[in-house]
């Protein structure tokens, strides 16, 4: 290791059979990102300088996501022979390591950075090994943490091996272990597999460390933080808990969520001060909403930037690359993709704006579409400042509408329009006096 200050090892080899999915378990998303990225975020936030990921065979998708998110190394656990065996798959990262080392799990996306910092602080105060535990509402199935009555950990007892008195303990093992790095291999290499499953369990490190005279500490955290996701119902539960955190953080930061329980945010949603989010709004990844903007009800945003004082919705869709300028308005049933609306521009009704620029103060009428795709390539529509696009117009890209130009309603515009010009392509209106009355009379006779 070139950086010996800290290392996080994230175990991600589980297939998640109970998920009944072709997608590896740790890649199932919550708040718009794979579960494993939340775990890696927490480790990075608390200052773990290196991250090693342990995956199973043929898990290239997990490796790709982990490396794109900053994992220094990825190791393959060729056989699933227990948690200690999984950690040892990362032996090249551990050998010679002298700093803090923590073992995490890719399916525990609710773990907070503050909790990991607390574990590092305990190591910094002299502990050799810290085990994260939680008071379980229902401890059935969990390993119990046997302590000296305070915070010194004596052993971890699996439920099937526990006495009746030990089963009554509600302090349970989360599986998260933090070590002083120089003792890790010395402990793991001595763990055997003399058990019913023939596996090597990380929990055995506790009694080995105690036998060596090491200081082993049990650190408590809330049960929800170490929720492991193994089935779809647990995935939904984790989503709900994380959404509540994100909503609370948004409101604490100065945003108004009119009906918070109906608003869904991504892990990276950024909301400014005095932003108003109305009910039933969904934010996908990559959304920034600046100060004083309003997102009206039933809107969906992803990869979009909404500038100060702009209004979006209701029933609007902003797709990746949408940039809504200061004071601009995007109304009901409007879709915007890869397009810039400059300051004060208005697109209020039933409109598609894709691969375009809408200049400051321009108005785009209802039913207008930018025809940006010719079946092979996307093309740009450029609408100048102060231009007026009449309702039910089709702008066939590439095309430029000059500043202050006027497009007559119902037009199909395929050539550039100079500034301050009028362009229209509809045929002249024809009027036939009495035509409707004659047709009704004839139809009446035919019946």
- Model confidence at 87: pLDDT above 60: yes
Largest interatomic CA distance in the chain: 108
Contact 48, 70 (CB under 8 A): no
Mean pLDDT of 80-90: 94
- Torsion-angle region of residue 361: left (phi > 0), alpha (psi -120 to 50) or beta? left
What integer pLDDT is reported at residue 16 of this predicted model?
82
- From the candidates 69, 305, 349, 379, which is the catalytic residue? 349
3-state SS, residue 207: helix
Length reported for the chain = 447
What average pLDDT does range 23-44 have in this prediction?
A: 96
Q: What is the pTM of this model?
A: 0.91
Average pLDDT value for residue range 176-180:
96
Instruction: Give the mean pLDDT of the chain.
Output: 94
- Would you put residue 254 in left (φ > 0), alpha (ψ -120 to 50) or beta? left
Q: How confident is the model at residue 72 (pLDDT cuts 50, 70, 90)?
A: confident
Local structure of residue 143 (DSSP, 8 states): P
What pLDDT score was predicted for residue 426? 86
CA–CA gap between residue 203 and residue 268 (Å, rounded): 35
Find the mean pLDDT for residues 321-345.
98
CATH code for the domain defined by 6-226: 3.90.550.10
Instruction: To the nearest 10°, report the CA torsion of 408, 413, 417, 419.
Output: 40
pLDDT interval class at 3 (50, 70, 90): very low
Find the mean pLDDT for residues 216-239: 96
94-103, 129-138, 208-217, 270-279: least confidently modelled range? 94-103
Contact 385, 401 (CB under 8 A): no
Distance (Å, whole) CA 400 – CA 196 = 74
Lookup: tokens for 236? 């939904």
Instruction: State residue 428's pLDDT score.
Output: 86
Residue percentage of the chain with pLDDT more than 90 = 87
pLDDT tens profile 374-404: 999 999 999 999 999 999 999 999 999 999 9
- Reported as a pLDDT band with limits 50, 70 and 90, residue 353 is very high
- Cβ-defined contacts of 395-401 (< 8 Å, 24+): 395/368, 395/369, 395/370, 395/371, 396/371, 397/355, 397/356, 397/370, 397/371, 397/372
Give the domain ranges of the chain: 6-226, 245-423
Q: Give pLDDT, residue 2.
A: 38
Pick from 275-284, 294-303, 437-446: least confident: 437-446
Nearest CA to 319 out of 332, 339, 302, 295 is that of: 302
Per-residue confidence (pLDDT) for residue 1, from 0 to 100: 37
* b/e map 268-283, b = 16+ CB within 10 Å: bbbbbeebbbbebbbb
Percent of the chain with pLDDT over 70: 99
Active site residue 85: no
Cα torsion 35, 38, 39, 40: sign: positive
> pLDDT category, 194, cuts 50, 70, 90?
confident
59-71 pLDDT per residue, tens:
999 999 998 887 7
**Stretch 227-236: mean pLDDT, rounded?**
95
What is the separation of C-alpha 101 from the centre of its chain, rounded to a whole number of angstroms? Answer: 26
pLDDT mean over 18-40: 95
Mean pLDDT of 428-433: 90
79-83, 313-317, 358-362, 426-430: lowest mean pLDDT where? Answer: 426-430
Q: Give the CATH fold of the 245-423 domain.
A: UDP N-Acetylglucosamine Acyltransferase; domain 1 (2.160.10)
Paired strand residues for 294? 276, 311
Pseudo-torsion of CA 231, 235, 237, 241, nearest 10°? 150
């Amino acid at each position: 290791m070139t950086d010996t200050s800290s290392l996080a090892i994230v175990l991600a080899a589980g297939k998640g059979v109970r998920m009944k999915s072709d997608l590896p378990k740790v890649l199932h998303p919550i708040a718009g990102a794979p579960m494993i990225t939340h775990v890696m975020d927490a480790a990075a936030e608390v200052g773990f300088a290196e991250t090693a990921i342990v995956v199973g065979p043929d898990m290239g998708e997990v490796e790709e996501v982990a490396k794109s998110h900053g994992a220094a190394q990825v190791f393959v656990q060729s056989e699933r022979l227990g948690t200690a065996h999984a950690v040892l798959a990362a032996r090249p990262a551990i050998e010679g390591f002298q700093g803090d080392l923590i073992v995490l799990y890719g399916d525990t996306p609710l773990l907070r950075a503050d909790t990991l910092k607390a574990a590092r602080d305990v190591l910094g105060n002299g502990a050799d090994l810290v085990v994260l535990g939680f008071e379980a509402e229902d401890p059935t199935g969990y390993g119990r943490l046997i302590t000296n009555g305070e915070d010194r950990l004596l052993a971890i007892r699996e439920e099937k091996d526990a006495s009746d008195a030990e089963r009554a303990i509600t302090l349970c093992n989360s599986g998260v272990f933090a070590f002083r790095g120089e003792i890790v291999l010395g402990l793991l290499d001595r763990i055997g597999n003399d058990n019913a499953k023939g596996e090597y369990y990380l929990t055995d490190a506790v009694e080995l460390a105690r036998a060596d005279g090491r200081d082993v500490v049990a650190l408590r955290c809330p049960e929800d933080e170490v929720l492991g996701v193994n089935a779809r119902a647990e995935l939904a539960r984790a989503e709900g808990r994380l959404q509540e955190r994100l909503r609370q953080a948004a409101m604490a930061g100065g945003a108004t969520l009119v009906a918070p329980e109906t608003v869904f945010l991504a892990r990276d949603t950024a909301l400014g001060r005095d932003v108003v989010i109305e009910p039933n709004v969904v934010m996908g990844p990559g959304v920034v909403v600046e100060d004083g903007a309003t997102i009206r009800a039933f809107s969906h945003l992803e990869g979009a930037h909404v500038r100060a004082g702009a209004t979006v919705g209701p029933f609007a869709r902003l797709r990746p690359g949408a940039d809504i300028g200061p004071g601009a308005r995007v109304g009901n049933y409007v879709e915007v993709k890869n397009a810039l609306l400059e300051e004060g521009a208005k697109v209020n009704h039933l409109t598609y704006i894709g691969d375009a620029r809408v200049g400051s103060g321009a108005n785009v009428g209802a039913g207008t579409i930018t025809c940006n795709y010719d079946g092979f390539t996307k093309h740009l529509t450029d609408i100048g400042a102060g231009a007026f696009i009449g309702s039910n117009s089709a702008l066939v890209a590439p095309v430029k509408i000059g500043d202050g130009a006027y497009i007559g309603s119902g037009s199909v515009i395929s050539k550039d329009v100079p500034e301050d010009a009028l362009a229209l392509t509809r045929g002249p209106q024809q009027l036939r006096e009495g035509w409707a009355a004659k047709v009704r009379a004839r139809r009446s006779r035919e019946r």
